[in-house]
Amino acid sequence: MYQKTSAGTPAPARAPQRSAGRRPVPWPAAVCVAFCLVQLAVVAPGSGLGWDETVYTSQVSRSLPAAFFSAPRARGITFLAAPVAGFTTSTVALRVWMAVLSATALFIALRVWRTLMPAPVLALAGGLFATLWITVYYGPQVMPNLWSAFGALAATGCFLRAVRDPADRWAVAGLGSAVALTGLMRPLDAVWLVAPLALVALFFRRARRPLLWGVLAAGLVLGCAEWVVEAYVRYGGLTARLDRASEIQGGTGWNFAVDDQIRALNGRTLCRPCDVPWRGKVTSLWWFALPFLAAGGLVASVRAGRRSTALLPLLVASFTALPYLFRVGYAAPRFLLPAYALLALPVASCLWALVTAPVGRWRPALIGLVTVALCGHLSIQFATTAADVRANHAMRVAYDAVAARLHAAGVRPPCVLTGEHAVPMAYYTGCASRQIGGSDGSITLAGLLAAARARPVAVLVPAFGRPPAYARSWHVVTLPDSRSFPGYHGYVAPLPRGAARP
């Protein structure tokens, strides 16, 4: 308990230095576990597959016909869903699988940065990104945008590590893998990710290494190869597919969509056309604070001797956001997930610098201010998530009711649906979706009529809409009315000879 001093008087013994042998708390891992649990508790129960999800999931389902796969889409996300979707149609099982995968991917992407930034800052960055309503909502979904974000976050960190330590082979391998992952999910996202990294490798001496250029190119080629090959097999070439993708998206070019993205932050998963009033302005507050916090993070990182850990994420985030802010004529908050993932790093550096700054008696007040702001931010994010989840549940209930009504009218597998909302409804009814024209054009009128002579076929027509001429004599079924599916009618072709209508 005591030690003798040179004068013989007892003195308290020094406390043992436990911190040297104590394992640090794995805060980034804890954040990822919490991210998974929130998805499973808030989003997964009772949810249904949305329009795009039914397209992706049907590609790998053994029991459901594959929906038409349009030119802008890439098949990367279908590979992730395949281990579950290929064996069961259970939405719950698919949600659990995707939630675990997304939390694991977030952990890996943050782990890449562990040697570049302190663990508390990384945990804060992960928490800021993982608690955005966009991240929570899309975490367990079969959608590619969040995975582009994981790829961008990991690629940027691996690039920095490879520049700092040329002997870090894991960083080089991780860089190529992360770029390839992004290319598999969204090829054009991969192009906008590689562009700033290649520029840095070109203009900065420490990064000017042929190996890095080669790895960036190899990752891009490997990730986009499937999409490019499919372009030649199904669309007549890469240019033709790009032109068709642009046409489906309303044309790409100069389009100022910043205001569209802001209006969509109140929980709109898609704002197209985005000519709606700006409601729920409080949900956009964090968006306006983002540039200032990111700039503060750059200053804090420079002072801490970590300038590149803020500067490069800012650069890459700007590139990945550019096409969705200035080249697409509509908005979906998920498009900016790669930028948000990267911006979370400097924002976390800024907030951490604020709460750890030695500002004397003002420090408790500053910590309290940051805490209150974060709590308010979290409450807004989770309220928005809850509203989107309720809308998703209402959609599932409506789609299930419509599917039951169509089944009762004799539209059962093997069957074909066409018309408005045919794509998601085909998934819920177990039918194939076929359109005579439009972005999902996949059958001719003659082909559809021939199908009607062999199997149940129905055309979905909205309220006050006129059925196509070929279906005006078909049996009319009034479908359940709901906000998600308002006032539709189904025009059911005469059943094939020998089949009895229930």
What is the distance of C-alpha 65 from the center of its chain?
25
What whole-number distance in Å separates Cα of residue 395 and Cα of residue 406? Answer: 16
Does the pLDDT at position 10 exceed 50?
no
Stated as kind and residue range, the H or E segment containing 461 is: strand 457-461
Count Cβ atoms within 10 A of the Cβ of residue 256 and give its class: 0-12 exposed, 13-18 middle, 19 or more buried: exposed
Residue 432 dihedral angles phi and psi, to the nearest 5°: -95, 145
| pLDDT reported for residue 6 | 41
Neighbours of 371 (CB within 10 A): 11
| pLDDT reported for residue 4 | 43
Domain ranges of the chain: 249-356, 396-492
Q: Given pLDDT bands bounded at 50, 70 and 90, which one contains residue 186?
A: very high
By mean pLDDT, which of 47-51, 82-86, 295-299, 326-330 is the weakest?
A: 326-330
What whole-number distance in Å separates Cα of residue 4 and Cα of residue 10? Answer: 5
CA distance from start to end of the chain: 89
What whole-number distance in Å separates Cα of residue 82 and Cα of residue 101? Answer: 13
What whole-number distance in Å separates Cα of residue 260 and Cα of residue 215? Answer: 36
Higher pLDDT, 228 or 6: 228
Q: Is the pTM of this model over 0.75?
A: yes
Q: Kindly give, in sequence order, each residue whose CB lies less than 8 Å from that of residue 493, ignoring residues fewer than 6 positions away.
A: 452, 456, 457, 458, 471, 474, 475
Using alpha carbons only, what angle is made at residue 183 by residues 326 and 88, rounded to the nearest 5 degrees?
115
Q: Kindly give, in sequence order, each residue whose CB lies less than 8 Å from that of residue 358, ignoring residues fewer than 6 positions away.
A: none
By mean pLDDT, which of 143-147, 202-206, 360-364, 482-486 is the weakest?
A: 360-364
Per DSSP, 499 falls in state: P
Q: What is the mean pLDDT of the chain?
A: 92
HSE on the CB side for 47, CA within 13 Å? Answer: 30
Tokens of 353: 């610098």
